[in-house]
Amino acid sequence: MSTTRRGFVKVGAGGLIASILGFDLRPAYAQARTLKIARTTETRSTCPYCSVSCGVIIHTLGDRAKNVTPQVIHVEGDPDHPINRGTLCPKGSSLYHDILNERRLTKPQVRRPGSDHWEDISWDQAIDEIARNIKKTRDATFIEKDTEGRTVNRCEGIAWNGGCTDTNEFNYLVVKTMRGMGVSYLETQARV
Ligand code: SF4
């Protein structure tokens, strides 16, 4: 039997030996994958990395009891998704390691003006400080009339830039809120 290097890498040494001996390991490989996700809960989601917005399926283990935190064990492309049809690029394929990463930030941080380091703050403190800074900036930069005396009611000191995982509903609220404050530098990445 002859084999190419590509075929060797694809099948693996064990598979190659089995193939030489006349065994077909494909059912075993399929069974192994089935076992891996046999008892998982499937959650359909969207890759957060770029505006292609590929669909993914996140497999989690956990019995859905209130005191149990589900454990992500596998992430793969969604074969039913019209954009990617089950495929993922290398970034999307690494999603599992993004979710389960000890360096992942799980709480808000702030770097104060002049400081050289980030400090942890609570969610309440973060929301409070953001609200206070928005009000202060808007009050300081709001323009009621332009240089020709026309009413414009705009705030040029704040800009909003949306993220790629924001849903259309979230972006709708963002636009309503920002327009209500007079923010004109406004961009969303509506796609989900
Ligand atoms: S899988 Fe790749 S191409 Fe698809 S959304 Fe994620 S980063 Fe973009």
Q: What is the mean pLDDT of the chain?
A: 85
pLDDT of 148-191, one tens digit each? 999 999 999 999 998 777 888 899 999 999 999 999 999 887 66
DSSP 46: E
Residues 81-105: tens digit of each pLDDT:
999 999 999 999 999 998 889 988 8
Mean pLDDT score, 4-25: 57
Q: Which of 45, 88, 93 is the pocket-test mutation for ligand 1 (most atoms within 8 Å of CB)?
A: 88
Per-residue pLDDT tens for 60-83? 987 667 777 778 999 999 999 999
How far is ligand 1, taken at its centre, from the CA of residue 93, in Å? 8
- Apex CA 165: angle with CA 178 and CA 167, to 5°? 60
* Amino acid 132: pLDDT: 97
CA 48, 50, 53 angle in degrees (round to 5)? 70
| Among candidate residues 137, 55, 136, the one with its CA nearest the CA of residue 88 | 55
Whether ligand 1 lies within 6 angstroms of the CB of 15 is answered as no
pLDDT tens track for 127-151? 999 999 999 999 999 999 999 999 9
33 pLDDT tier (thresholds 50, 70, 90)? low
> How far away, in angstroms, is 189 Cα from ligand 1 center?
14
For the CA of 88, the nearest atom of ligand 1: 1
Centroid of ligand 1 to alpha carbon of 177 (angstroms): 29
**Distance in angstroms (rounded) separating the CA atoms of residues 166 and 168:** 7
**86 CA from centroid of ligand 1 (Å):** 11
* Ligand 1 neighbour 57 (Cβ under 6 A): no
Percentage of the residues of the chain whose pLDDT score is greater than 70? 81
pLDDT of residue 146: 94
Task: Count CB-CB contacts under 10 A for residue 186.
Answer: 16
- Ligand 1 pocket check for 181: Cβ under 6 Å: no
164 lines ligand 1 (CB under 6 A): no
The pLDDT of residue 70 is 79
- How many angstroms separate the Cα of 46 from the Cα of each of 32, 84, 152? 26, 11, 38
Position 16 pLDDT exceeds 70: no
Residue 55 near residue 46 (C-beta atoms within 8 A): yes
